[in-house]
Chains A and B, each alone.
Chain A
Amino acid sequence: MEKHIRLTLTAWLRKIGIRYRLMGSFIILSLLPLLASGLISYQESTKAIQSNTRIFATEVIKQVAKNVRLQMAQIDAASEAVVLSDPVQAALANFTGDDPLHRARARIELTRILLNTYGSFAHFNQKYFLDNSYRIIDSQVFPQLAGTVEELVEKSPHPKSRTYWTTLQTSVGQSSVVMVRDIYLKNSGRPAGSLFLGLQSGYFSTIFNDVDLGADSDVVILDAGSGNILIGSGENPARVATLRIDQTLLTDIRSNMARQEQNGFLTYTAHPPANQIGGEHGARFVAAYTQISGTEWFVVSIIPYNNLLVQAQSVRNKMAFIGLICFFVSIGLAFVISRTISAPLEKLVGVMKQTETGDYAIRMETEGNDELSVLTQKFNAMADRIGFDYEQLEARVASRTHALEEANQKLATLSMTDSLTGIANRRRFDEVLLAELSRAARSKKPVALIMLDIDYFKNYNDYYGHQDGDICLRKVARMLQSHARRSTDLVARYGGEEFVMLAPDTDVNSAMDVAESMRAGLEALALPHARTPLAVACVTASFGVVALVPDEEQSPELFARMADKAMYRAKEQGRNRVMLAGREAQGDSVRARAS
């Protein structure tokens, strides 16, 4: 199975070009670590961020709560010093008395003390002394303003020797963080009124305005009792007044408060209504909160969950971007490196394909010192050897071919030549006769055929033997050949001791002359023939001649038979003579030539 898979995989991979296999492997090698490290860092960084945020946010708001408490304590302490100061005690004692003059003086004095104590500080929005009936002692304050202050003080819980902190909202949404302190006369312990101080919410929010827990995060101070947000970080008071804490978060804070746990951390999904801190319904938030000691106020930090990861996401994005650049660089390198491998290989393949055409002279340039260079060198050496062998083989084949051609030529010559006499044989004669008859028919020119047979040649053989008979035949043939005047004249052995001579473009007279010349020539050779009955006692021959202008339907056989008949008539007429074909049929006398 494993072998099968390996083979299949190998086979599949082998279908892909080396360059792409190399590039693919580079990409996989560079991408896999990138993806693996990215995935791991994503999970680890998310966990770490959540954990660190919890620690960080909790510690930050604890510090904020501590600072708020410290500022409240400072105001507490300062206000205590004010209300216990002799001028205030004296003025309040006078104001609670019955003497109108003292009351009037006290009214002016108390206002002056307030202005001298708090008048130079911009963060005190309101500052009033109130009498035991919770009425503002300052005589110019109109009910529009005084009413809310007096009502707030009247409804405050008036804790003994302690201050009460809350917030005050005006009709148009201006808000103040309020401290109310009851005042007691030192010498009698009688209540003498209250001190009301209203501070800009910004006075406290400056503690955490610069606390940046990420984009869209909020730090607020919440009154867990009422569920109202008292102070928002740099917020418009009018907006803060309308903001609401999510019910899930508020419930969690209240249950923690019931268990007297001061700190908490919660991840929750926002629910309606709208205008909640953090925004939309369905969004997830991370909240950390801690109680401001001595109050029902909580410092709450609310961070949108998605924004929590923004910074990490930014880092991850940068990492991914760098990884991407590395990835592209590795692809580029992969391309370059694979090219250094595949390009020479492709070139080598191309060169090898070129050798299929027989071009063994082509060579590859050798570059570098790597394995491919060695392969190239080896290929070039191999091509050298193959080229050399090929050239040798080519030369040998050419030589053999030439010899073969010669042999064939010889063979062809042999097939057209009579082996005994060396002149054209009967096959050759037949081919030439057919061609000449056809040509003469087209050109309307005469063609002549002379046929001869050696007289009493059987006797000759019997007497001299066949070897001498052959010599005789060769001599006769040579003599006949010498009478072929033109290259187109053909002398051939017709069979046994019969010979022919075909003479194109030759009329009857010329043919008769040639035949006579041949007969005379033979006689002149004077080849002895002891057994001939003829008187000349030498080898002679009888000649039949035919000459005519053939038509297209002239049969070669008929033409030869006409010469043959003429020759036999020469035999019949006493041999050693020349007879023209066709004269007897016309009644003409045979033209015979005899010695």
Chain B
Amino acid sequence: VSNSIAEYIARFIIATTLMACLNGCENESQTKAALAKPQTLITALIWAPDWPREMDQIAEEFTRANPHIRVNVQFMIGNSVEENLMPKVGSRALPDLMSVNPNAFTARLADQKLLMDLGDTAAWANMLEPLKGDWTSPGNHRFGIAAGVATTAIFFNKDLFQRAGITSLPGNFDEFLAVCEKLKKAGITPIMWNGGFANMLGNGPFSSGFANNIVGVHANWKRSIADGSLNLDSAATADIFSKIKLVAQHGYVQEDYMSTNYDQGIKLFTEGKTAMAYHGTWAAGLLMHGKGFQTGMLMPPWNTAGKLPVPVVGSETGFAVANSANRKEALAFLEFIVGKGFSIQQNKRQNIPAMKQVDGVVVNDVALTEYMRAVNQMPVSASPYYAFLPASTIELVHSLMQEVLFGNITPQQAAKSLDASVKSEAEKTNK
């Protein structure tokens, strides 16, 4: 009897000890569960007027590949990248990743170390060498990665040109006006003007006018703008605005062109309602596939007779990473955008990649490639306006173009304002 009782006691002790051990295991598993990796939320402020959905998809794919990072994508509004960034610069609340232009404004942010140096990233190593200069600040900070190579062109509807009896493409601005006249007489709206979205006027006729009138004449134009020594209160500058107005004045643009926004402008061309669209290659995916017609590309003939046109080419708006707490995650997202995620936007936009090697299958139009070859063969080329004008001047240019088009100010007055703004910004910067 005594032995069996002792045995029962021993069993009870073992059982209770096991229960205590199991209890310990349970607590341990709860502790392990509590140690799951937290998710980091990064904010990306993106300039993607014509590819917001693709940008969302890139963010989604990135989170799928990196479950511990979530991206809150915000899209810029207005007419420029800079006006979106300026309030955030002022409040020191830059998003973790943002669209930036390769200009002095962004370079200053880099030199203030508000942006990360991207020199050690794979994206920087893979970027085309000629573009790297655009993205290197005076302080030698490598602050951005181009989303693509940006060049502007006049996309034209071959069918409408044929219908208007146009057999040769214009080689200078006078010939361009003549082509417009022919088209107009044929009852065809010659060209689309994005009067409601001045950014495209800036990228288009303004940049080309600046390229042919200023860049082609002044060898050190960029440095002169930076130090304020370039005199833009000139006939050449006024001519830039005059040409923009002239095209409109002659009725070569669509009705209500001053209300035409970015999307409407593209639609006017792709639906065959205008014969030409002055646009950037970043929208080639839309512009090269018009409804029922073939599209050609024409180097904007903003040159005078006897001179070669000066094309506009440079880095497209790119991406930078803020020196924020989430910079590691944001850098990973940057690598993804121009790496594995690049094809998502490229296949929609069909722009010229800014990278030496591109992941996945990318779509490009042969005509676009040919156009780029022609542009590269030109002895002189200029950057897009957003790349060399001070941020506040960019905003001013938008207003000046609209004011000139509305006849509220003369091209000369616009040139004077532009000159004053550039010099003022140079003075502020060089203080």
> Lowest 3 A-B CB distances belong to which pairs?
A119-B87, A139-B261, A120-B91
| CB nearest to B74 among chain A residues | A125
A517 to chain B, nearest CB (A): 88
CB distance from A191 to the nearest CB of B (A): 20
- Please list 20 pairs of residues, one from A and one from B, whose beta carbons are closer than 8 Å in the complex, sorted by A's number: A19-B2, A23-B9, A104-B196, A104-B259, A108-B198, A111-B79, A111-B83, A119-B87, A120-B91, A126-B75, A139-B79, A140-B79, A140-B262, A141-B49, A141-B75, A145-B75, A170-B53, A171-B53, A174-B59, A320-B19
Contacts known (A115-B87, A321-B20); A16 close to B72, Cβ less than 8 A: no
Q: Mark A154-170, 1 if CB is under 8 A from B, else 0.
A: 00000000000000001
Do A105 and B402 have beta carbons less than 8 Å apart? yes
Known: A23-B9, A104-B196, A321-B20. Is A121-B84 also a contact (CB below 8 A)? no
CA distance A171 to B398 in the complex (A): 32
Q: Which of B77, B78, B259 has the most CB of A within 10 A?
A: B77
Taken together as a complex, chains A and B put the C-alpha atoms of A117 and B259 apart, in Å, by: 24
Q: In whole Å, how far is B249's beta carbon from the nearest beta carbon of chain A?
A: 15
Q: Would you call A140 and B77 a contact (CB within 8 A)? A: yes
Give the size category of B's interface with A.
35 or more
Query: A272-290: which have CB < 8 Å to B?
Result: none
Q: Pick the contact of A140 from B13, B27, B63, B78 — CB < 8 Å?
A: B78
Residues 1-32 of chain A: 1 if any B CB is under 8 Å from the residue's CB, otherwise 0? 00000000000000111011001100100000
Are B406 and A101 in touch, CB under 8 angstroms? yes
List of B residues within 8 angstroms of A170 by Cβ: 53, 56
**Residue from the list A122, A127, A173 in contact with B77, Cβ < 8 A:** A127
**Within B235-267, which residues are at the interface with A (CB < 8 Å)?**
256, 258-263
* A80-126, CB < 8 A from B: 100-101, 103-105, 107-108, 111-112, 114-116, 119-122, 124-126
Bound together, the chains give a CA A215 to CA B70 distance in angstroms of: 22
For residue B332, give the distance in angstroms from its CB to the closest CB of chain A: 17
The answer to whether A125 and B79 touch across the interface, beta carbons within 8 angstroms, is no
Cβ 8 A contact of A104, one of B6, B20, B43, B258: B258
Q: Indicate if A243 sits at the interface (CB-CB under 8 A).
A: no
Given contacts A111-B78, A172-B57, A321-B23, contact A143 B408 (CB under 8 A): no
What chain A residues lie within 8 Å of B77 (beta carbons)?
A: 111, 114-115, 127-128, 138, 140-141
Note all chain A residues with C-beta closer than 8 A to B13.
328, 331
Residues of B within 8 A of A119 (CB): 84, 86-88
Report B-chain residues with C-beta under 8 Å of the C-beta of A324. Answer: 16-17, 20
Q: For the complex, give the distance between the alpha carbons of A139 and B398 in Å.
A: 13
A460 interface contact, C-beta 8 A: no
> Inside 8 A of B39's CB, which chain A residues have their CB?
234, 236
In the complex, B52 has a CB within 8 A of chain A: yes
Chain B window 2-21, contacts with chain A (Cβ cutoff 8 Å), 1 for yes, 0 for no: 10011001000100110110
| Residue A540 at the chain B interface, CB threshold 8 Å | no
Cβ-based interface call for A361 (8 A): no
Separation of A119 and B5 alpha carbons in the complex (Å) = 80
**Residue with the greatest number of chain B CB neighbours at <10 A, chosen from A104, A105, A141:** A104
A248 interface contact, C-beta 8 A: no
Name the residue on B nearest A17 (C-beta). B2
With A101-B402, A111-B79, A145-B52 in contact, do A20 and B6 touch (Cβ < 8 Å)? yes
B50 CB-CB contact with A under 8 Å: yes
B159 interface contact, C-beta 8 A? no
- Per-residue contact bits, chain A 124-156, to B (CB 8 Å; 1 contact, 0 not): 111110000000001111111110000000000
- Residues on B with C-beta less than 8 A from A215 are 30, 33-34
Q: Which of A122, A238, A314 contacts B43 (CB 8 A)?
A: A122
16 more CB-based (< 8 A) A-B contacts, given A126-B74, A140-B78: A19-B2, A20-B1, A24-B5, A101-B406, A104-B402, A105-B399, A119-B87, A120-B93, A138-B78, A141-B263, A142-B52, A142-B262, A170-B53, A171-B53, A215-B30, A317-B23
Who on chain A is nearest to B257 by CB?
A100
A39 interfacial contact with B, CB 8 Å: no
Q: Are A100 and B259 in contact (CB under 8 A)?
A: yes
Q: Residue on B with the closest CB to A314?
A: B27
* Residues of chain B from 43 to 102 with CB closer than 8 A to chain A in the complex: 43, 49-53, 56-57, 59-60, 63, 70, 72-75, 77-79, 83-84, 86-88, 90-91, 93, 95
Are B87 and A174 interface neighbours, CB within 8 A? no
Complex CA–CA separation, A15 to B2 (angstroms): 8
Cβ contacts under 8 Å, B367 to chain A = none
Residues of B within 8 A of A (CB): 1-2, 5-6, 9, 13, 16-17, 19-20, 23, 27, 30, 33-34, 39, 41, 43, 49-53, 56-57, 59-60, 63, 70, 72-75, 77-79, 83-84, 86-88, 90-91, 93, 95, 194-199, 256, 258-263, 398-399, 402-403, 406, 408
If over half of A's interface residues share one DSSP class (helix, strand or loop), that class is named, otherwise mixed; here it is helix
Q: Determine if A202 is an interface residue (Cβ-Cβ < 8 Å).
A: yes
Tier of interface size on chain A: 35 or more
Beta-carbon contacts under 8 Å, A295-327 to B: 310, 314, 317, 320-321, 324, 327
Given A104-B406, A140-B262, A115 contacting B78 (CB threshold 8 A): yes
B248 to chain A, nearest CB (A): 12
Asked whether any CB of chain B lies closer than 8 Å to the CB of A417, the reply is no
Q: Which residues in A have their C-beta under 8 angstroms from that of B53?
A: 144-145, 170-172
The answer on a CB contact under 8 Å between A101 and B87 is no
Q: Which of A122, A126, A140, A173 contacts B199, CB < 8 Å?
A: A140
Cα A327 to Cα B17 in complex, Å, equals 11
Residue contact B398 to A108, C-beta cutoff 8 Å: yes
Which B residues touch A144, using CB under 8 A? Answer: 52-53
CB distance from A2 to the nearest CB of B (A): 24
Point out the residues of chain B lying under 8 angstroms from A139, CB to CB.
Answer: 79, 194, 196-197, 259-262
Contact mask for chain A residues 231-267; partner B; CB cutoff 8 A; 1 contact, 0 none? 0001011100000000000000000000000000000
| B399 close to A108 (CB less than 8 A) | yes
A542 within 8 A of B: no
A122 proximity list for chain B (CB < 8 A): 43, 88, 93, 95
Cα separation A236 to B72 with both chains bound (whole Å): 10
- In the bound complex, residues from chain B placing their C-beta under 8 Å from that of A234 are 39
Q: Indicate whether A200 reaches chain B with its CB closer than 8 angstroms.
A: yes
> Are A16 and B78 in touch, CB under 8 angstroms?
no
CA distance A234 to B36 in the complex (A): 14
Q: Which residues of chain A are within 8 angstroms of B20 by Cβ–Cβ distance?
A: 320-321, 324
A174-B73 in contact (CB<8A): yes
